Amino acid sequence: MNGRAWTYADLSAIAALEAECFSDPWNLRMLAESFLSGHFFGSLLEEDGAVIAYGGMSVVEGEAEVQLIATAEMYRRCGRGGMILQDLTEEAKRRGAKRIFLEVRVSNAPAMMLYLKHGFRGLYARSRYYSDGEDALVMVKELN
Ligand X SMILES: CC(C)(COP(=O)(O)OP(=O)(O)OC[C@H]1O[C@@H](n2cnc3c(N)ncnc32)[C@H](O)[C@@H]1OP(=O)(O)O)[C@@H](O)C(=O)NCCC(=O)NCCS
Which is closer to ligand X, CB of 51 or CB of 70? 70
Q: Can residue 132 be called a binding residue for ligand X (CB under 6 A)?
A: no
Active site residue 90: no
Work out how close the CB of 73 gets to ligand X at its nearest, in angstroms, rounded to a whole number: 7
Q: Please, which of residues 67-126 interact with ligand X by CB under 6 A?
A: 69-71, 76-82, 104, 108-111, 113-114, 117
Q: Is 142 a catalytic residue?
A: no
Name which of 38 and 127 has its Cβ closer to ligand X: 127
* Reduced 3-state DSSP string for the chain: CCCEECCHHHHHHHHHHHHHHCCCCCCHHHHHHHHCCCCEEEEEEEECCEEEEEEEEEEECCEEEEEEEEECHHHCCCCHHHHHHHHHHHHHHHCCCCEEEEEEECCCHHHHHHHHHCCCEEEEEECCCCCCCCCEEEEEEECC
Q: How far is the CB of 82 from ligand X (least distance, A)?
A: 3
Closer to ligand X by CB, 38 or 74: give it.
74
Q: Which residues bind to ligand X, rule: CB under 6 A?
A: 21, 53, 69-71, 76-82, 104, 108-111, 113-114, 117
The residues annotated as belonging to the active site are 103, 115
